[in-house]
Chain A
């Protein structure tokens, strides 16, 4: 018996519990019947019926926002379902808490590593389940055992090293090894290779196959088609919160899956105002900085320039670089044809650039401050005489933006944290409407907002364009950038890899370029 199997059967009582709930390989281990999740009125997952078989690798694919994360959270007990039934080994179960999911042997390895950076690799692998004798930890024994597992898996990692000293990819491998040690039955991987090198991915795949051969059911979520075809036995496709089909990997191909992933029904939402395109506002030449390299593009007045790519493709980094938040390492920026030097955010604002950043929570809003203060934050200078704020103007501007954007609040004094995702996004946008910028950068403006709010945000784009502004629209949601952009640039690995005029390329081509098959 190898060291991994030995450790995974360390706790006899748990093994017994697990044995009472077994199904033969190939039989349904987890069945979802009409599983549904609603947040308020928003249906994050429409009633889905999916069966997972014992000992299979079941891939789940779908665009960002298709409902993959919601599904994982439901399966791991992080959130509770709104409706539907879940059967585990043929018996109905609640899966109401993470503890219940873990007790049944359901575990997840997340994209973001949730381990303690300041503890050793071995300490992390045994965290919460330490080996002890007379209440004292057996550090040496744990380190030896952990090293045996790592060697067994061929990971070539030192068990005594601090976790924080490893790369993100190596940390991901440790997290996987930790999950594998716990005698799991059902393991979910959420885009595990996002930060892995090719070699690390290969190690991970070996481990996944080995777990499958031991009878563990694997759910593998990924954007990368080639991985799905390399690993999976079956694949389920989600689109806009709907489960649109499950296929045997041997009976499907890239094109069918991509066609299933892309929504063709709600194109009418993506209505772009027809505005005559004017002079060039900004031009970048060979712009490079942290996370992006050699990006050259132009934005003209009246134009939406879309930046499409997977998460981490360098689009947001480019935006932050252009906005002066990140130092540029090479390249030039021309504003109205003149070379400019953007050293910080205030330089960018001075020129007339506005940025609605990717994360409302971390970058966009002061959540525990009133809506009014958030809206006025970029323009307090204009609302003040000297240093003293003209209270009347302050209130008037906030109220005007609240009305203009139909932000649903009784007062500008309500805290931003009390607003829903869609209304929060409107506050972020409202900040920049009164600023009077000429180039608007919207980074994922419609993540976590419902369809109605999306349509309102697109209508605002039209108004900005009519006033002669240019827009850079960053989105991971293809239909959005595809339909709205006058010009669409595709990013991959920090570089601009392809450019298309409005609707000049097919969805399939764009997706293929972004994924890089």
Chain B
């Protein structure tokens, strides 16, 4: 007989706290912008704002994909490597004369294939997500370097490389890409039943299985989405820097995980949103951008980012415990 922990006073509804965290993060972001606006002249210049949005955009998309995986109580360490690898793939395809639309589709399919491989490793081979994605992290960089023979492939497709510099309605195209990803991601996670299944699997896979949820398919789906987001970012990065290089995007997986966690995703699974990691990514981008403007030593940026992760997640934990 197990002892039941009986808590008669019910906590505040979950949805309310989700919105509360979102508002807090938004408040923090606006506060940072205000502070930087007051302390530097350059911050609010159109140039800098565009720059900031471009910087944050790629991490934000990675963080959204990463969040799907973390909600299932997994982790995807390979996303940075996928970005570098797919930048090589698209450059290679364009160099080989493949039409742009086909190159883009093939690159995205490469992301799908990598994610499916992760799902296979976890579901069929029983490997821990940490291990299988760590393995792809290192191998993909190796394969990318083999393809380019250790150097880079430059991209001579004008339309493709110009895209990252264009604006639409005064907002950088790269930021529009965030919106392009975020809206379907929101619908998927918060409005579709597959989104519910992600939460259920992350909370208690056995209970989900006994309730008729196809747990294996849900896991495949999460990793495919994450890897496809990463492949999409690989396209954006290739467009931005005009080359394909397998060593690019070093450490971006950690940026993505940090953004997601700052945005309220629980590494234990079953807690997360789409707006959280987006805000988290732009908070991190703002800190980097502000530190550059204020001429803060770039080594300090890393330290500040680390401290911020501890502080935000600690307060989030306190709040969660407090609401119990």
Q: Which residues of A contact B (CB under 8 A)?
A: 39-40, 64-65, 69-70, 73, 79, 323, 325, 345-346, 349, 355, 357, 361-370, 373, 376-378, 380-381, 383-384, 387-389, 391, 409-411, 413-415, 417-421, 424, 431, 447-448
Known interface pairs A377-B196, A413-B15, A418-B7; A366-B210 also in contact (CB < 8 Å): no
A387 and B193 within 8 A (CB): yes
Which residues on B sit within 8 Å (CB–CB) of A376?
196
Known contacts A365-B204, A367-B204, A387-B194, A448 near B210 by CB under 8 Å: no
Neighbouring B residues of A362 by C-beta, 8 Å: 204, 206-207
Q: How far is the CA of A357 from the CA of B209 in the complex (A)?
A: 11
User: B14 to chain A: which residues have CB within 8 Å?
Assistant: 369-370, 413-415
Q: Which residues of A contact B212 (CB under 8 A)?
A: 345-346, 349, 377-378
Q: Please, which residue of chain A has its CB at the minimum distance from the CB of B268?
A: A368
Q: How far is the CB of B72 from chain A (nearest CB, A)?
A: 12
Closest A residue, CB atoms, query B266: A368
What are the residues of chain B within 8 A of A325 when measuring CB–CB? Answer: 209-210
A366 & B207 in contact (Cβ 8 Å cutoff): yes
Produce 1/0 per residue, B264-297, CB < 8 A to A. Answer: 0000001100000000000000000000000000
The docked-state distance in angstroms from the alpha carbon of A381 to that of B206 is: 19
- Find out whether the CB atom of A363 lies under 8 angstroms from the CB atom of B206: yes
The digit string for B14-25, where 1 denotes a CB below 8 A from any CB of A, is 111000000000
Indicate if the CB atoms of B10 and A409 lie closer than 8 Å: yes
**A-B CB proximity, top 8 nearest:** A366-B203, A413-B13, A421-B4, A380-B193, A377-B211, A387-B192, A349-B212, A420-B6
Min CB distance A66 to B, Å, is 9
In contact, B11 and A414 (Cβ under 8 angstroms): yes
Do A369 and B197 touch (CB < 8 A)? no
Q: Is the CB of B192 within 8 A of A389?
A: yes
Once the chains bind, are A420 and B4 in contact (CB under 8 Å)? Answer: yes
Could you tell me the distance between the alpha carbons of A365 and B211 in the complex, rounded to whole angstroms?
9
Which of B13, B214, B270 has a CB less than 8 Å from the CB of A346?
B214
Q: Is B213 an interface residue (CB 8 A)?
A: yes
Given contacts A325-B210, A381-B193, A388-B193, 7 further A-B contacts (CB under 8 A): A346-B212, A357-B210, A362-B207, A389-B193, A414-B13, A415-B11, A431-B211
Known: A369-B200, A409-B10. A345 touches B193 (CB 8 A): no
Closest to B215 in A: A345
> Contact between A79 and B192 (Cβ–Cβ < 8 Å)?
no
CA distance A379 to B117 in the complex (A): 30
A70 — which chain B residues lie within 8 A by C-beta?
A: 1
How far apart sit A221 and B313, CA to CA, in the bound complex (Å)? 46
Partner of A64, one of B1, B3, B9: B1
Residues of A within 8 A of B207 (CB): 357, 362-366, 377
Interface residue? B180 (CB, 8 A):
no
Point out the residues of chain B lying under 8 angstroms from A447, CB to CB: 1-2
Known A-B contacts A345-B210, A414-B11; the reply to A377 vs B200 at CB < 8 A is: yes
Provide the residues of chain A in CB contact with B214, threshold 8 Å.
Answer: 346
Asked if A373 contacts B196 (CB within 8 A), the reply is yes
B109 CB within 8 Å of chain A? no
Residue contact A366 to B8, C-beta cutoff 8 Å: no
Closest B residue, CB atoms, query A387: B192
Complex: chain B residue closest to A422, CB-CB? B4
A369 and B199 in contact, given A377-B213, A388-B191, A421-B6 (Cβ under 8 angstroms): yes
- Whether a CB of chain A sits under 8 angstroms from the CB of B187 is yes
User: What are 6 A-B pairs at a CB distance below 8 A?
Assistant: A39-B3, A365-B204, A381-B193, A388-B193, A417-B7, A448-B2
Q: How far is the CA of A367 from the CA of B191 in the complex (A)?
A: 21
CB-defined contacts of A349 to chain B, threshold 8 Å: 212
Inter-subunit contact A39/B6 (CB<8 Å): yes
| A425 to B, closest residue via Cβ | B4
Instruction: Flag whether B147 is at the interface (Cβ < 8 A).
Output: no
Determine how close the nearest CB of chain A comes to the CB of B184; give it in whole angstroms. 11
B124 at the binding interface (Cβ < 8 Å): no
Given A64-B1, A366-B208, A377-B208, check contact A389 B196 (CB 8 Å): yes
Which A residues touch B3, using CB under 8 A? 39, 73, 79
Q: Do residues B197 and A380 form an inter-chain contact, with CB atoms below 8 A?
A: yes
Q: How far is the CA of A420 from the CA of B191 in the complex (A)?
A: 29
Given A368-B271, A409-B10, A420-B4; A323-B210 close (CB under 8 Å): yes
CB-CB under 8 A from A391, the residues of chain B are 191
Considering the chains assembled together, what is the distance between the CA atoms of A39 and B208 in angstroms? 29
Whether A384 lies near B192 (C-beta < 8 A) is yes
B321 beta carbon closer than 8 Å to chain A: no
When distances are taken between beta carbons in the complex, the residues of chain A under 8 Å from B1 are: 64-65, 69-70, 447-448
- B15 contact set on A, CB distance < 8 A: 413
Q: A357 CA to B40 CA in the complex, in Å?
A: 61
Report the bound CA distance from A323 to B209 in whole Å: 11
A372: shortest Cβ distance to chain B, in Å?
Answer: 10
Residues of B contacting A377 with CB < 8 Å?
Answer: 196, 200, 207-208, 211-213
Smallest beta-carbon distance B186→chain A, Å: 12
| A413 cross-chain contacts in B, Cβ below 8 A | 13-16
Residues in chain B near residue A364, CB distance under 8 A: 207, 210
A214 to chain B, nearest CB (A): 32
CB neighbours (8 Å) of A366 from chain B are 199-200, 203-204, 207-208, 270
Report B243-275 CB contacts with A as 1/0, cut-off 8 Å.
000000000000000000000000000110000
Contact (A384, B193) CB under 8 Å given A366-B199, A366-B203: yes
Give the distance in Å from the alpha carbon of A3 to the alpha carbon of B214 in the complex: 56
- Inter-subunit contact A418/B10 (CB<8 Å): yes
Q: Closest residue of chain B to A64, judged by CB?
A: B1
Q: Of B10, B11, B193, B208, which is within 8 A of A383 by CB? A: B193
B204 pairs with A373, CB closer than 8 A? no
How close is B11's CB to chain A, nearest CB, in angstroms? 5
Report chain B residues within 8 Å CB of A414.
10-11, 13-14
Question: Is B13 a contact of A369 with CB atoms below 8 Å?
Answer: no
